[in-house]
Amino acid sequence: MNILFWVRKNYITRKGTAQIICTISIEGKKIDIGTPLSIEPKNWKQSKQKAFGENSNFINEAISKIRNSLIEIKPKFEAQSKNYTLQDIKNTFLGKNTRIETKQPTITICQALEKVQEIRANHNASTTNFRDKSYFQKFKHFLEKNNLLYQPAESINKTNILAYLDEIKAKNNSTTYNNYFSWLKAVFIVRSCLGLKKISNESCIFRC
């Protein structure tokens, strides 16, 4: 099975980015899988199938996870039956196929939060945002104090955290509430990308 990543340059968003597509092929047959990743075409090198420039580490890490997940699927089909198609592989990757079970990596709130911090740090590399760092540490401590930091990011009930945040808001500390809530929104945006699920545009993280 061959796996190829490429940028759909024929559709550029208003922000100047294009979606990264994954094409898998077996014995001359091909199928495309749209990834939740996007990039400015100038920051993509097709010969290496890698991103360069801003947020390149994040994108390349996600591509590696997608590639590894796809590689793991094919042997599972072969072990059960040789009667499978590229569509079966695609559906399994997207979580739509019940023919075989695939185990997604468990991503904790802590891991997602740290990934948000990494993206924001890279995005604001030219400035030192002490206020942002301060609220990052405070929110992390807040989650740990309430035994939420190491809960699975994919399965945790969002309303549980919102209930704790409402307690802060009730104490008339709107600044802390707004900043904590912005981090929470960012966590739930990026957690899906780490779990290879469909996500909102990554740029939302910077608007939180």
What does the DSSP 8-state code read for residue 41?
G
The mean pLDDT value for 134-154 works out to 68
**Spatial separation of the C-alpha atoms in residues 104 and 194, rounded to whole Å:** 10
Q: Which stretches does DSSP call E strand in the chain? A: 2-7, 18-26, 29-39, 44-45, 50-51
Contact 196, 104 (CB under 8 A): yes
User: Quick one: pLDDT at residue 170?
Assistant: 67
| Predicted pLDDT at 205 | 37
pLDDT at 130 over 50: no
Tens of pLDDT, residue by residue over 72-83, are: 888 887 777 667
**Which amino acid, residue 102?**
T
CA atoms of 175 and 172, how far apart (whole Å): 9
HSE-up (13 A, CA, CB side) for residue 106 = 6
How confident is the model at residue 203, as a pLDDT?
Answer: 42
pLDDT in tens, 9-59: 988 888 889 999 999 998 889 999 988 888 999 999 999 999 998 778 888
pLDDT at residue 124 above 60?
no
